[in-house]
Amino acid sequence: MVAPPRPVFPKPHSPGCCRHCAQPLAPEDDPAKAECARPTCVTRRQIVASAELARRALARDAAYLEVSRRRARPVLRAAAKAVGQPHLGKIAYGIAPHINRPIVPLPEDRRAAFVAHLDHVIEESYARADGITHTPARPQEDPDYVTRRKEEQPESGVIDASCIACQGECCLNGAGRMAFIEADTIDYVRWSRPEMSRSAIREMYLSQIPKTSTEQSCVYHGAYGCTLDRTVRADICNSFQCRYRRALMEAYAKKPGHGAVVAGLSADHVDKPSAGAAGLRVVTVSEDLDVRVHDDLRLPALRKGMPKF
């Protein structure tokens, strides 16, 4: 493992010398900056500048999250109260981005493109078995197989409150990537479901496409999340968990049994300081998976003293 670069601090220097290496400045160097153009010093300055940019980005991100949490708290409290939780002490809660995409019928050209892709990867899966169409042996000793079996296990539907409030920002990536389904995905389905025929696999994938889905997103991106069964999704769709969903999972692990409430906020909500600003979707999911979108709630105004963006 390569050790991270050590922080570079200015050295005491004499007038006319570089403050980093203490060597004399060249005629073309700016004496006011006291920095030379030697490769070592240029690299040092670039490291320091990159570290500073990263520090500022992290600080800005932390400030944004803090403002978002504080602004969302009143609507989270109101939604929790509406479903029988008088305060936030017992219910899992959190925030998420909100992409605000409409739910529309899947355009025929997009469906046709997905069907063509599905047929192609199914063909590839069967063809690379040298024409043998029987199901490959299940690879229990394959570490990737073991990992996938673990990641595809059912999760509490309560955690989907995060995705429903967000409306699935990460799922937008599945539009151009055809739900990330590849020949390896079909291989896995054949391993895990040896009783399924080639045509049955095809029909299974087509039957789970919803009649309406999120505009310009993955074909399986329904109003309340992914409509494709976890056991036949692409690996990344089970392994990837955004930080907002992970945070809600942690909160629910600490306060199980009371459902969850999540406020989805538009990325630019900090630029709209007035009360009632657009870009809010508050969702509660009960223990029996009753989903409620609280359309009556509105964002409060940004309070004075909060960081500016």
Write out the chain's pLDDT in tens, 309 residues. 555 555 544 445 578 899 888 889 999 988 888 889 999 898 988 888 888 888 888 888 888 999 999 999 999 999 999 999 988 999 999 999 999 899 999 999 999 999 999 999 999 998 876 555 555 556 666 677 778 778 888 788 899 999 999 998 999 999 989 999 999 899 889 888 888 999 999 999 999 999 999 999 999 999 888 999 999 999 999 889 899 999 999 999 999 999 999 999 998 998 888 888 778 999 999 999 999 999 999 999 987 766 655
- As a whole number of angstroms, the distance between CA 21 and CA 18 comes to 6
Where do the domains of the chain lie? 104-155+173-239
Q: What is the pTM of this model?
A: 0.76
